[in-house]
Amino acid sequence: VGNEAELVMETISLKPPVFRVRQFLSPDERSRIIELARLELRESHVVATADAGPNLSTGEDGSSPKNPPRKSQTAWLVADADDTGTLELVRRRAMALTVLPDTVKSERLQVLRYSAGGYFGAHHESTAFLRRYATLLYYLEGPG
């Protein structure tokens, strides 16, 4: 969908299930996503829910922890705000790859930027409130 190249899904692990698809995004799509995210980037925060485990974003006394769960910048992109249709094409391609019906709605596209020393710690992707079927990671710059 929106990318005429044939995509090959490579199995990295079965437990947990991890797959890689090279060149899922075209260079133009990567550039457009970076362009859209650039103005929206803000310091990343963790949203804790009661069933997601301990709140790692603050210490017991309410102070910032020594090692926060992530050190990055985040932008959330909405497909409707993209007048080129790039985000919608990427979303439809992701739906085709995962073979999920269009009735299963995806979150907005989360773009993360890491500076030197940045990281994103381990965390739960699903909770009793939010059932996540899959997480897709796209490298916009660097490997991938």
Q: By percentage, how much of the chain surpasses pLDDT 70?
A: 81
**For 35-85, how does the pLDDT look when each residue is reduced to its tens digit (9 = 90+)?**
999 999 999 887 655 544 554 545 556 555 556 678 899 999 998 889 999
Residue 138 lies in a domain: yes
CA distance 102 to 144: 26
- At residue 135, the pLDDT reads 86
pTM, entire model: 0.77
Phi, psi of 57 (to 5 degrees): -80, -15
Report the number of distinct structural domains present in the chain: 1
Residue 66 lies in a domain: no
Residue 67 lies in a domain: no
**For 2-12, how does the pLDDT look when each residue is reduced to its tens digit (9 = 90+)?**
556 789 999 99
CA distance 67 to 56: 9
Residue 139 lies in a domain: yes
Residue 23 lies in a domain: yes
Residue 25 lies in a domain: yes
